[in-house]
């Protein structure tokens, strides 16, 4: 993810993200809260490297799905439900989609 895209998600301009990355600027409590909220990251992990990075497996999937670009809520829900399917069920769905495509 680019600095610009990351910044847009937490209401910071690209140069603000760059300054934080380079150590020229500290990270405020507000920015930490926004990062945790927007990317579903555990605050203790972000600040201290302790515990799990994401709150739940679903939260991890949400981060990935939200990074895919312009998807509406239905797109996101469909992808989320798909990735939660057992491998065999995903294969059935893929086979079905292949038949539609042909």
Report residue 81 as tokens.
Answer: 């439900």
Model confidence pLDDT, tens digit, residues 14-36: 999 999 999 999 999 999 999 99
Rounded to whole angstroms, the Cα distance separating 67 from 61 reads 10
For the chain, percent of residues with pLDDT exceeding 90: 42
Model confidence pLDDT, tens digit, residues 30-89: 999 999 988 888 899 999 999 888 777 777 788 788 778 788 889 888 888 888 888 999
Res 84: pLDDT: 84
Which are the contacts of 47, defined by CB distance < 8 A and separation ≥ 6? 32
């Amino acid at each position: 993810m680019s600095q610009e895209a990351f910044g847009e998600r937490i209401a910071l301009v690209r140069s603000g993200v760059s300054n934080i990355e380079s150590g020229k600027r500290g990270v405020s409590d507000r920015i930490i809260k926004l990062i945790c909220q927007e990317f579903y990251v555990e605050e203790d992990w972000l600040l201290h490297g302790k515990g799990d990075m994401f709150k739940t497996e679903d939260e991890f999937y949400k981060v990935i799905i939200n990074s895919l670009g312009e998807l509406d809520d239905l797109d996101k829900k469909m992808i989320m439900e798909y990735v939660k399917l057992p491998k065999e069920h995903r294969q059935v769905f893929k086979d079905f989609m292949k038949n539609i495509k042909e």
